[in-house]
């Protein structure tokens, strides 16, 4: 529930800020050009504002504890392992955190390669060998090194822009056709416009989520390859096999997209992660 409230509050704040900025700039949403500017502002702007806030929001929503000074051998090993992998991957040292959760998972987030976060669950630390944990960490470091956070934010922003723009263009045409020349028709046209925008954004949003999920699955294969290069193919395969028998991920949104263990869904089209058997097969066929 807390994550849902956080998601809604964050997006409401983003929309409010962008609305004020566009109003001050005098952007007229009644013209096609003005509508495109608004769609770009809300589509791309919202996506990248969320990216900039991602690390702070991830730490808050999962209550992840960032390791600043290792208090035990496991924390020191985590820090040393991530530091070594980050150096080999050519990125800045990420923040390393642990969050309490029974499911075996980890995620990476952050707005840039040199300002990122790698977090692992206590469930993962308690149920995996060090070799498997090392492979999971390498997978997340590879996400960062590949620039996947920015790439998916860009893709999400583009599809959001198209959803906002075309929903309103189509709704405007329907509204104008219904309005006619009389005042009663104008009222009906405006009512139809609002209703059609809502329906079209829902339908186009489903198509947009399929596109984003497709690119997310591609990036997962790349992160697995990077993890295998940093921690060894056998360790990466072993970690994925262990995860294939684990409980579904409880991470949401961007954290789920960049977690090692994706959530379950009714169709592969909507999955942010490829099925484990396909990921294992891809690594074994390298």
Q: What angle do CA 72, 75, 78 make, to 5 degrees?
A: 150
> Of residues 95, 132, 140, 254, which has the active-site annotation?
140
Side-chain half-sphere exposure of 27, counting CA atoms within 13 A: 19
- Rounded to 10 degrees, the C-alpha dihedral 140/142/143/147 comes to 150
Q: What are phi and psi of 120, to 5 degrees?
A: -125, 150
SS3 91: coil
Contact between 176 and 142 under an 8 Å Cβ cutoff? The reply is no
What is d(CA 183, CA 189) in angstroms, rounded to the nearest whole number? 10
Quick check: is 134 catalytic? no
The residues annotated with a catalytic role in the active site are: 140
């Amino acid at each position: 529930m807390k994550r849902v409230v956080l998601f809604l509050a964050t997006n409401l704040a983003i929309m409010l800020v962008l609305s004020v900025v566009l109003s001050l700039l005098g952007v007229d949403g009644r013209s096609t050009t003005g509508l495109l500017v608004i769609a770009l502002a809300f589509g791309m702007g919202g996506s990248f504002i969320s990216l900039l806030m991602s690390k702070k929001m991830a730490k808050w929503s999962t209550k992840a504890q960032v390791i600043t000074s290792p208090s035990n051998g496991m924390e020191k090993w985590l820090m040393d392992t991530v530091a070594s992998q980050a150096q080999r991957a050519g990125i800045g040292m990420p923040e390393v955190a642990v969050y309490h959760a029974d499911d075996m998972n980890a995620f990476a987030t952050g707005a840039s390669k040199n300002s990122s976060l790698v977090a692992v669950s206590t469930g993962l630390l308690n149920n995996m060998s060090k070799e498997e944990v090392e492979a999971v960490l390498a997978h997340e470091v590879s996400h960062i090194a590949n620039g996947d956070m920015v790439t998916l934010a860009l893709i999400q922003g583009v599809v959001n822009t198209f959803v906002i723009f075309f929903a309103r263009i189509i709704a405007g045409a329907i509204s104008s056709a219904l309005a006619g020349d009389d005042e009663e028709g104008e009222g009906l046209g405006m009512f139809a416009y609002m209703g059609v925008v809502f329906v079209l954004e829902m339908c186009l949003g489903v198509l947009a989520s399929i596109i984003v999920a497709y690119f997310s699955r591609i990036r997962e294969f790349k992160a697995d390859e990077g993890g295998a290069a940093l921690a060894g193919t056998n360790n990466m395969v072993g970690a994925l096999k262990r995860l294939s028998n684990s409980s579904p991920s409880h991470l949401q949104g961007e954290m789920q997209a960049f977690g090692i263990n994706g959530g379950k869904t009714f169709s592969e089209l909507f999955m942010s992660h490829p099925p484990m058997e396909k990921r294992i097969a891809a690594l074994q066929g390298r």
